[in-house]
Chain A
Amino acid sequence: MKYLDEYRDAQAARKFAGAIAKITTKPWVLMEVCGGQTHAIVKFGIDELLPAQIELVHGPGCPVCVTPLELIDKALEIASRADTIFCSFGDMLRVPGSKKNLFVVKAEGGDIRIVYSPLDALKVAEANPEKEIVFFAVGFETTAPANALAVRQAYERGIKNFSILVSHVLVPPAMEAILSSSQNRVQGFLAAGHVCTIMGYTEYEPLVQKYRVPIVVTGFEPLDILQGVYMCVKQLEEGRAEVENQYARAVRKDGNPLAQEMICDVFQIIPRKWRGVGEIPQSGFALRDKYRAFDAEKRFDVAGYSAEESPECISGLILQGLKKPFECSAFGNRCTPERPLGATMVSSEGACAAYYCYRSHTVILRAKPEESHSRSFAERRSAQDDNWKRQNVKN
């Protein structure tokens, strides 16, 4: 496919990896913000191509993962209603609530439909006027324009049986939360390309100035990610901290103004709780008063839920780049994509799920769970580095 295949060229990827190795003189910790990037890095083994001094830590950029438990419980309650058709992106169905997930509700007879777009949910509403149609509006800035468009179209067309359960989170406040933490290890960011397609990248300037970290807006294909790493390491090695744009084929400095206008018309910024992390100020969207009739939480009166996370799950530390999936004692045994304990195992873009799917040769197929933990992460990195040298030194 044009604009995809050429960015997966193995020879070009090796060139970038070689160039990164050449300019790297010190250890650096970079965070890729978006779960889509995490998925690509682990799937294509990009981290294994990098010199051992470059550590990629995986950011909080998976909205499915960070949707708080109590919101899942609210979704489960609404989806169980006999008069309701509950529409959702497919990856939300497996996310565990306190007692069950949406798949279980569906098995119990709930009318739950997987849709590709919120606009499809609106079509379901038009086709079923006798039913309440609720769309689970999960996402970052990337998805907000589509969800806002569905609400605006419902408003203009007077569709009364449509509402959305909003779980919208924002990327820059999460990056600031990571940077301002006393435990922060991140020295440079690969910013989430598609979030910037909507929002542009001027809002990163204050972060760069305040915390002196390079932020490189980066795409999702292997060459994009390798170039993003190269640009970020180059800045760090040269002592610069700037906002740069690797993904210029899709991202303009000011983003998409029409999409921003729509977001602004439909949503307002509020504090949001992030699963595994806690509440972050000004980090999410809620519907504006003008559109309150489309707010499923108000329509179905499901306020007042609270829920406790599994005490064993370390997803909060993983989402902040402080731990790797390997370092959790439940990883791959008590916590799997089929039965996730928490945030980062629930979606294919969560760091734990990505490691589970693509690193099973090093992590899952072990004789005893204890054995993998007896091997430290540093030792594993060292093994990855040897592997990298074998592949690249001869080039």
Chain B
Amino acid sequence: MCLAVPGKIIAIEGKNPLERTGKVNFGGIVKEVNLAYVPEAGLGDYVIVHVGVAISRVDEKEAEKVFEYLKQMDELAELQEGTQ
């Protein structure tokens, strides 16, 4: 129910803030999405979309952190093994 999918904004239109609308590309499928809640999101940005409404702009730096976390765990494990 709370399924929300990331997609890339490829077009924006609409002057009324409540009706700001974009075309969002989800891996090849393009859908019309309301952008009223993400005024900071522009062309080329990724947004998280739920029931036709963008609810958040994807933070690219934060998106890398899962992998940085993994890398840190690896390095920590190597350090621990080295001291044993």
Contact = CB atoms under 8 A, between A and B. Distances in A.
Contact of A116 (B19, B52, B77): B52
A151 to B, nearest CB: 11
A119 B37 contact: no
B2 A250 contact: no
Given A19-B73, A250-B58, A142 B52 contact: no
Contacts of B2: 34-36, 61, 63, 139-140, 142-143, 192, 194-195
Contacts of A138: 1
A89 B66 contact: no
A224 B66 CA distance: 8
Interface string A233-263: 0000000000000101111100010110010
A184 B14 CA distance: 49
Contact of B48 (A116, A250, A262): A250
B4 A142 contact: yes
Report the interface size class on chain B.
Answer: 35 or more
B50 A194 contact: yes
Nearest to A192: B2
Nearest to A19: B73
Most B CB contacts (10 A, CB to CB) among A2, A36, A248 go to A2
Contacts of A249: 58-60, 62-63, 65
B2 to A, nearest CB: 4
Contacts of B13: none
A250 B57 CA distance: 7
B71 to A, nearest CB: 10
A71 B36 CA distance: 30
Contact of A197 (B19, B36, B55): B55
A54 to B, nearest CB: 17
A116 B31 CA distance: 11
A103 interface: no
Contact of A152 (B5, B18, B51, B63): B18
B1 A3 contact: no
Contact of A259 (B8, B37, B51): B37
B63 A197 contact: no
A16 interface: yes
Contacts of A153: 18-19
Contact of B55 (A64, A117, A119, A194): A194
B12 interface: no
Contact of A117 (B6, B46, B51, B77): B51
Contacts of A116: 51-52
Nearest to B73: A19
A256 B4 CA distance: 15
Nearest to B52: A117
Contacts of B34: 117, 119, 146, 149
A188 B6 CA distance: 28
A195 B4 CA distance: 10
B82 interface: no
Interface of B: 1-6, 8, 18-19, 26-27, 34, 36-39, 46, 48, 50-53, 55-56, 58-60, 62-63, 65-67, 69-70, 73-74, 77
13 contacts: A7-B66, A15-B74, A116-B52, A139-B1, A142-B4, A143-B1, A156-B18, A192-B2, A198-B55, A224-B66, A227-B66, A249-B58, A258-B39
